[in-house]
Amino acid sequence: MYNGVKVLDVHGHVSSPEATSNYLMLMMAANTAFPSPIPAGGVPAAGGRQSPGLSPEDFKKASQRHVDYMDARNIDVQIIGPRPFRVMGFMEEHLTPSWARFVNDCIHIQCQDFPERFIGAAQLPQLSDAPDTTHVLGELERCVKDLGFIATYASPDPGGRRTTPGMHEAYWHPLYAKCQEWGIPIIVHGTNALDRRFRVVPHNYQLGFYTEQYLATQFLGHGDVFERFPELKIVVCHCGGGLDRFHKTDPHLPQKDLSRNLFFDTCAYESLFLEAAIKQRGVDRIVFGTEAPGSGRHVIPETGRSGDDLVPVLDGFSFLSAAEKIQIMNGNPKKVFPAMAKWDTADSRQAVTAS
């Protein structure tokens, strides 16, 4: 909570038992899309293997650790999606649908474990070299209609080789059209990056996050996406990757009003960068997001708190009014993700289970 209102976090990733990695490794090693090892009603899928470490109790323990982490950072509700560096968009294309379905089932389990705390966002079985995004719509429909997810993640370049069409191109139109039709916001987050130059940098997928999210911001701004899909809402993670070095009136930047469609989260762990991002993007376009737990676990010496403990950081920004801080942490998430209002009640469990 923050000043009596719930803190709504739009940027979280699934926390599953370590044994979920075994399914991924087995599929990639055997180059075979095996049935899911997660029991449905206590029974694995036909042909699937009952894997140790994937019991309901194992999932519940992983979910509880996630909840405890959120509690320590005053986060009440979190949208959770895939862990981007584990999307593995460069795998053989016949494996991608099974992996996406498995991850989405893991997300759904965590949401069922703590329905008052977690909301699902889908992993899409994206293929960079597909003719368009029609191929992802079946899994998106399952996640929305069967699993109750309220958003979807999308990687600007799932294959990691910079061969995916830009997010302003017609390749993306089937996804945009369906998300507009269903009122499903898109969370844009980079995934894997296979640029050989990146290898010297530890955890170099982060460079892919930065570059692809910044490019997506530019392409979406300069293209005609929001003229074609005026009700579509997109959140670009990590404040949009990079910030603009041009003044807002410069023709290098899109000279159009994007305030109804294009938003950015607060997931930046350097307070100077976060301050600049809020001032540059504008409070109305900033939604609270932390990725907690994720890459912000390091402790900042000056504060003694982890990087992803962002409620105190925002609270300490003197350039923001009290109302603006609440707007970022509560109002704006509900504006971009209207379904989050169900989780912002005095008894959110009752509101969610009754829906």
- Domain for residue 198, yes or no? yes
d(CA 327, CA 3): 12
Q: Is pLDDT above 70 for 50?
A: no
> How does residue 49 score in pLDDT terms, banded at 50, 70 and 90?
low
Question: Which residues are CB-neighbours of 18 under 8 A, at least 6 positions away?
Answer: 53
Identify the three-state secondary structure at position 143.
helix
Mean pLDDT value across residues 247-264: 95
In a domain, 22, yes or no: no
CATH of the domain at 322: 3.20.20.140
Task: With a cut of 70, say whether residue 230 has pLDDT above it.
Answer: yes
Q: Where are the alpha helices (DSSP H) in the chain?
A: 20-30, 56-71, 96-113, 137-141, 173-182, 205-222, 225-228, 271-281, 310-315, 322-326, 332-336, 348-353
Q: How confident is the model at residue 51 (pLDDT cuts 50, 70, 90)?
A: confident
- Residue 349 above 50 pLDDT? no
Per-residue pLDDT, averaged over 106-126, amounts to 98
Assess whether pLDDT exceeds 80 at residue 100: yes
Q: Residue 146 corresponds to which tokens in the numbers above?
A: 């069967």
Average pLDDT, the chain: 94
Neighbours of 94 (CB within 10 A): 11
pLDDT at 214 over 90: yes
Q: Residue 183 and residue 180: Cα distance in Å, rounded?
A: 5
In the chain, the number of structural domains is 1
Percentage of the chain with pLDDT > 70? 94
* pTM (two decimals): 0.94
Is residue 160 within 8 Å of residue 89, measured between CB atoms?
yes
Residues 290-303: tens digit of each pLDDT? 999 999 999 999 99
Domain that holds residue 150: 8-14+54-353
Q: What band does 353 get if pLDDT is binned at 50, 70 and 90? A: very low
28 lies in a domain? Answer: no
**What DSSP string describes 144-213?**
IIIS---EEEE-S-TTSSS-SPPTTSGGGHHHHHHHHHHT--EEE-------GGGGGSTTTHHHHHHHHH
Residue 116 lies in a domain: yes
